[in-house]
Structure 1
Amino acid sequence: MALGSSLFAAVFLAVAVAASPVQVNKPLVSLPLVRRTNSTSFTNLLANDQARARYLKDRAQAKLQGRAASVDATNAVDTYVVSVGVGSPATQYSLLVDTGSSNTWLGANKSYTPTSTSSDTGDSVSVTYGSGSFSGEEYTDTVTLGDGLTITNQSIGVASQAQGFSGVDGILGVGPVALTQGTLGDSEATVPTVTDNLLSQGTIDTEVLAVSFAPATSESDANGELTFGGTDSSKYTGSINYVPITSTSPASEYWGIDQDITYGDSPILSSTAGIVDTGTTLVLIASDAFDAYKTATGGTADESTGLLRISSSQFSSLQTLNFNIGGTTYGLTANAQIWPRALNSAIGGTADDIYLVVNDIGSASGEGLDFINGYAFLERFYSVYDTTNSQVGFAETSFTSATSN
């Protein structure tokens, strides 16, 4: 899946009603999340994101057609990880947090250390992602998030082989539980996710995950927050606006929403379905919409990075890219549309050049997954993934109009 893609820092445990977040008297548990860059393969940023997009689309379509899905794997180059304890006493593993998959597994970098709470179920487990894959054995074990937030008998995969995950130990899957179907041996049963078990074990009262990021300016930033079970009102401004999960397949298999996009006042993508994904770095849009965006911005394809490059004068006239979601407009300012200039060299770019974070998903609109709002979008807006009410929410933050790039 890959995972490509822009930024975390602490996990808080709070409880809220999905449509109207309310803080209650449960202890807050902080858990740092950090951006990790695999500099040796960071020039594959666009290829990585596009590979993930192809796989996510093909996986959902294959499920409907009863066939296997596959895609060429590339290394995950831009990832956002959290330290998760497994076992008792716990061993800490750096796991990528992914809303586009739902299995939790480890062993890509650091080997699994069994303890008294470890139990081998005897089942094999395997998952393929746009950025790589893993296979191995399923265990159940105690999983600890932060200082004392504990899940017992959590299903975890222990990798005997993994590819595409340099610099991370595995994945903390927080996507819809249906994505686990077919990952255990020959079984078609689903596997309860971390958030499922937090709810069933009474640790949280509603199955909600909220994500807060800030724009990154270095290759290792701790600048975000996850909230399990509710929302953190200090991380957003105004109100959270919710929309139902889209009914359009294949986006409906993920955290899918409907939206349209305009560049300034000019429409570039009519209302269509896509997904919100913490495993993608860029904002990817359908090929026809990307062509319109490229023409409007005057950007030219850069051979070194694969991204669109614009001049300083073009940047000064760059208009806001507006995402209309459920009747609310979320605007990516000119500053929000460019790759962090401090990280140009990390993607094989030139220090003084300006690169755009909007690019081609690799297929025309009308295929049911016509965009991916990745980290470039999420670091400007607070996002909420509400399993209990089958909805996704967004709000502005203090970083929505930041000029940190």
Structure 2
Amino acid sequence: MEIIFRLGMVMELFSIDTVTMNGIEIKNQTFTECNSINGTSSLLSDGILGLSYPDLKFNNDTTILINMWNRGLISKPLFSIYLNPDKNSSYESGLIFGDIDSSKYTGSITYVPVVIQIYWEFLMDSIYVNSTIINSSLYAIIDTTTTFILGPTQSIDTLNIALGGTYDSSAGMYKVDCITRSLSSFSNVTFIVGGEVFSLTPLQYILTLNNGVNDYLCYTIFVPFNIYDSRGNLYWIFGTYFLYRFYSIFDFVNNQVGLATSISYNWTKSFDESLFNNLSKTTQSIISTASSSTQTTIVTSMGIQMNTFIRHTLNDIALLVGLFFIKTV
């Protein structure tokens, strides 16, 4: 059987073997062997670990999460994700099977039901820029193989225009003026999920690119992209830039996705002071660095933390709701 995967991999042979992760043996795990990888030479990984619902799996094989649960290797059929954008932090990014690491988020967890059991798809209430509503009743998924936040073209256009952006067809993204505009002139972008507020600040959603000496291009991370689910609904994709700010939980038995404010929420990278109409003159509480002196390795005796496999650079972060790129060590 030949299967053409969406990232350019050709998989032909189904196999069964024992998979070992963090010292835990998972016996009789079905996987597919790949004999060709096209267009993925930049990926610093050696394989893909599926974490979607079984409907997305090939050959109706058991996912590794369910296999671990059935064998009593984890106490709960769920996994959670913490991504840290700060390469210098003592907290590493982590994938946890079977538990939730309460040291990686603050406040409470907001849960929303999964509406389509394939990509852990859920319904988002609305999106705002200040008091302006961009859209409501939106379908969305969380995907760590996606870097930015992708959404239906019409909604993304409206959002970026509200932020003062102009479309750059050469980049396929919206450009904003980060030279003459002050940081305070940019609004927060707010997502309402499960009745709760999840906001991104300007320094969290503006991407700055150095195009030469004292020459910068700035884009938002909100990218137009029309993609439809199995029922014909357009949906949003929340990538790693969203996960840097919000801890996520995927609960298989209760069919729900959970979100909470990450301990890395307030971290921002350093910017040239010439940006945003002289950044040094702008006081923003968001410009801070989250720091810590301890690191959790195992959440409970029945929780497996896989922080060894998840790196900080964007090329290495390729784990996901549906897929997890594995780097062998």
Question: TM-score, structure 1 length as denominator?
Answer: 0.60
Matched, 1:291 2:161: no
Report the equivalent of 1:136.
12
Report the equivalent of 2:306.
none
Report the equivalent of 1:384.
249
How has the CA–CA distance of structure 1 residues 353 and 393 changed in structure 2, closer, same or farther, with 3 Å as cutoff?
same
**Partners of 1:125 and 1:384 in 2: CA distance:** 33
**Partners of 1:384 and 1:327 in 2: CA distance:** 17
Report the equivalent of 1:209.
79
Report the equivalent of 1:352.
216
Matches within 5 A, 1:361-380: 361-362=225-226, 367-380=232-245
Deviations 1:229-265 (A, max 9, x none): 010011000111111112xxxx553111111211121
SS at match of 2:216: coil
Unaligned runs of 5+ in 1: 1-123, 185-189
**Partners of 1:210 and 1:352 in 2: CA distance:** 36
Residue number among 385, 392, 396 corresponding to 2:261 in the alignment: 396
Report the equivalent of 1:68.
none
**Partners of 1:328 and 1:287 in 2: CA distance:** 25
* Alpha-carbon offset, residue 217 of structure 1: 6.3
Report the equivalent of 1:83.
none
How has the CA–CA distance of structure 1 residues 228 and 178 changed in structure 2, closer, same or farther, with 3 Å as cutoff?
same
**Partners of 2:92 and 2:164 in 1: CA distance:** 32
**Partners of 2:106 and 2:215 in 1: CA distance:** 33
Report the equivalent of 2:54.
177
Opposite residue 111 of structure 2, the aligned amino acid is Y
Residue number among 278, 283, 286 corresponding to 2:144 in the alignment: 278
Deviations 1:324-366 (A, max 9, x none): 1111110111111123x4xx36x99x96322211111236999
* Alpha-carbon offset, residue 300 of structure 1: 2.2
* Alpha-carbon offset, residue 307 of structure 1: 2.3
**Partners of 1:303 and 1:314 in 2: CA distance:** 25
SS at match of 2:156: helix
Cα contact 1:125–1:157 (8 A) shared by 2: no
Matched, 1:161 2:29: no
- Paired positions, count: 262
Matches within 5 A, 1:50-89: none
* Alpha-carbon offset, residue 128 of structure 1: 2.1
**Partners of 1:308 and 1:240 in 2: CA distance:** 32
Report the equivalent of 2:189.
321
Report the equivalent of 1:301.
167
Cα contact 1:255–1:277 (8 A) shared by 2: no
**Partners of 1:178 and 1:314 in 2: CA distance:** 48
* Alpha-carbon offset, residue 316 of structure 1: 3.9
Residue number among 68, 88, 96 corresponding to 1:227 in the alignment: 96
RMSD: 2.7
* Alpha-carbon offset, residue 223 of structure 1: 3.9
Matched, 1:240 2:109: yes
**Partners of 1:165 and 1:354 in 2: CA distance:** 27
Question: TM-score, structure 2 length as denominator?
Answer: 0.73
**Partners of 2:187 and 2:54 in 1: CA distance:** 39
- Which structure's relative contact order is higher, taking Cα pairs within 8 Å and 6+ residues apart? 2
Opposite residue 178 of structure 1, the aligned amino acid is D
Opposite residue 255 of structure 1, the aligned amino acid is W
How has the CA–CA distance of structure 1 residues 286 and 314 changed in structure 2, closer, same or farther, with 3 Å as cutoff?
farther
Cα contact 2:244–2:262 (8 A) shared by 1: no
**Partners of 1:242 and 1:234 in 2: CA distance:** 18
SS at match of 2:49: strand
Report the equivalent of 1:331.
199
**Partners of 1:314 and 1:391 in 2: CA distance:** 40
SS at match of 1:243: strand
**Partners of 1:174 and 1:280 in 2: CA distance:** 15
Opposite residue 270 of structure 1, the aligned amino acid is S
How has the CA–CA distance of structure 1 residues 291 and 217 changed in structure 2, closer, same or farther, with 3 Å as cutoff?
farther
SS at match of 1:280: coil
SS at match of 1:289: helix
Opposite residue 206 of structure 1, the aligned amino acid is K
How has the CA–CA distance of structure 1 residues 216 and 165 changed in structure 2, closer, same or farther, with 3 Å as cutoff?
farther
Opposite residue 65 of structure 2, the aligned amino acid is T
* Alpha-carbon offset, residue 404 of structure 1: 2.4
Unaligned runs of 5+ in 2: 271-329
How has the CA–CA distance of structure 1 residues 367 and 216 changed in structure 2, closer, same or farther, with 3 Å as cutoff?
farther
How has the CA–CA distance of structure 1 residues 314 and 372 changed in structure 2, closer, same or farther, with 3 Å as cutoff?
farther
Cα contact 1:257–1:276 (8 A) shared by 2: no
